[in-house]
Amino acid sequence: MRQISLDRLRAFAYVVELGSFSAAAARLELTQPAISLQVRELEKHVGVRLIERVGRRAAPTAAGEELLGHARRIDAAVNAALDAMSRHAKGTVGRIRLGTGDTACIYFLPPVLRALRNKFPSLDIVVSTGNTPDILKSIEDNTIDVGLVTLPAPGRMFDIQPVLDDEFVAITSRGAVALPEKVTPADLAKLPVVLYEPGANTRQLIDQWAMRAGVSLKPVMELGSVEAIKELVGAGLGCGIVPALSLPTAGARRRTVVRPLHPRLSRKLAIVMRRDKPLQKGLREVVGAIKEFAGAFEAPAFDKT
């Protein structure tokens, strides 16, 4: 492929547009001999004469006039490319692919995404939801840039940054199943309980919590959505265990009673990326916004009645 120096094209264009080698040299902050050399080298490269003297003015030949049109389009394309790359470097454009669970997507991410949209309107953040193993596989395959998932996240290739300790709580509807002030696995074993479906990290944490107390929970329903659990519990169909992250403040709750678990049970949400993932500006801003919001998060208060 025959390559043309952009510097030579720019020198040629300035000579033609300004009508003078000395004027072009002044504009480009070079010497006149340097400009003359660049034009001669360009003419040698393309094999035709590009500039001729018309009186005291430098004017393009027919070939030079045609090349000038190309030079202007090339210069515009180069400037557009550099401008685009500048916006990427500032994190104002680009696409970040984020994977997370349903609960974090519904209750954690909206203010994070809103803040990022206000700060970087051209930053495109694509969010997908799934269980931790599926998200980790996508991060490994580089089809997701960053994950916000429930630990554990096994894999030596991952960079793991815990950001939030999310406590689990027991919930029931007012006037339905009565819960003690602190709910134990033995208490739940006697009650109709609605849990997450098997296989999810959250369900495994709950089952392990009960097993450590020598209890096996036998749920009346197993659902894949925290919203579905809350709706059925709110309808008086039993009690449930959900992350505190998914609950409104005590003042905003009407039908739901919230109790702490004993012993305490929590899950850790972590930012997960490949260790070899380049931390470009856009990705760095997304990670920073997640950390900032997690640091300011306050769990809902428990009910005292």
> Residue 160 pairs with which residues in a beta bridge?
272
Binned at pLDDT 50, 70 and 90, residue 92 comes out as: low
Average pLDDT (1-18) is 84
The pair of three-digit structure tokens given for residue 138, joined into one six-digit string = 């996508």
Q: Tell me how long the chain is.
A: 305
Query: Which pLDDT tens digit goes with each residue over 106-165?
Result: 889 999 999 999 988 888 899 999 888 999 999 998 899 999 998 889 988 899 999 999
* Cα gap 297→53, rounded to integer Å: 73
Cis status of the peptide bond prior to 198, with omega within 30 of 0:
no
Please state which CATH class domain 94-164+268-296 belongs to. Answer: alpha beta
Q: Model-level pTM greater than 0.75?
A: no
Residue 1 confidence class, pLDDT cut points 50, 70, 90: very low
CA distance linking residue 33 with residue 25, whole number of Å: 9
Say which CATH class 165-266 falls into: alpha beta
Assess whether pLDDT exceeds 70 at residue 61: yes
Predicted confidence at residue 246, as pLDDT, reads: 87
Q: Give the confidence band of 248 by pLDDT, cuts at 50, 70, 90.
A: low
pLDDT reported for residue 304: 53
Q: Which residue has the tokens 């449930």?
A: 240
For residue 87, pLDDT beyond 70: no
d(CA 123, CA 113): 10
Query: Could you give the count of Cα atoms lying within 13 Å of 284 in the half-sphere of its Cβ?
Result: 9
CA distances from 17 to 10, 13, 20, 41 (A): 10, 6, 8, 19
Q: Report helix, strand or coil for 287.
A: helix
Architecture of domain 6-89: Orthogonal Bundle (1.10)
Q: CB–CB of 149/281 below 8 Å?
A: no
DSSP-based three-state secondary structure for 112: helix
Domain limits, CATH 3.40.190.10, in the chain:
94-164+268-296, 165-266
> Where in the sequence of the chain do the CATH 1.10.10.10 domains occur?
6-89
Each residue's pLDDT tens digit, 199-247: 777 888 999 999 999 999 989 999 988 889 999 998 888 899 999 888 8
Q: What is the mean pLDDT of residues 279-297?
A: 89
* pLDDT recorded at residue 281: 83
Q: What is the mean pLDDT of residues 79-86?
A: 76
Mean residue pLDDT across the chain:
87
Phi, psi for residue 239 in degrees, rounded to 5: -120, 170
278 cis-preceded (ω within 30 degrees of 0): no
pLDDT confidence of residue 115: 94
Confidence at residue 249, expressed as pLDDT on a 0 to 100 scale: 59
Q: Which two tokens stand for residue 112?
A: 């994070």
Average pLDDT over residues 81-107: 79
* Strand 94-100 with 146-150, pairing: parallel
Contacts for 135 with CB less than 8 Å, ≥ 6 apart: 99, 100, 101, 128, 144, 147, 149, 272
Helix/strand/coil for 224: coil
Amino acid letter, 180: P
Q: Is 173 helix (H, G, I), strand (E, B) or coil?
A: strand
Amino acid occupying residue 48: V
Q: What is the mean pLDDT of residues 8-13?
A: 91
CA distance 207 to 223: 15
Q: Report the percentage of the chain scoring pLDDT > 90.
A: 51
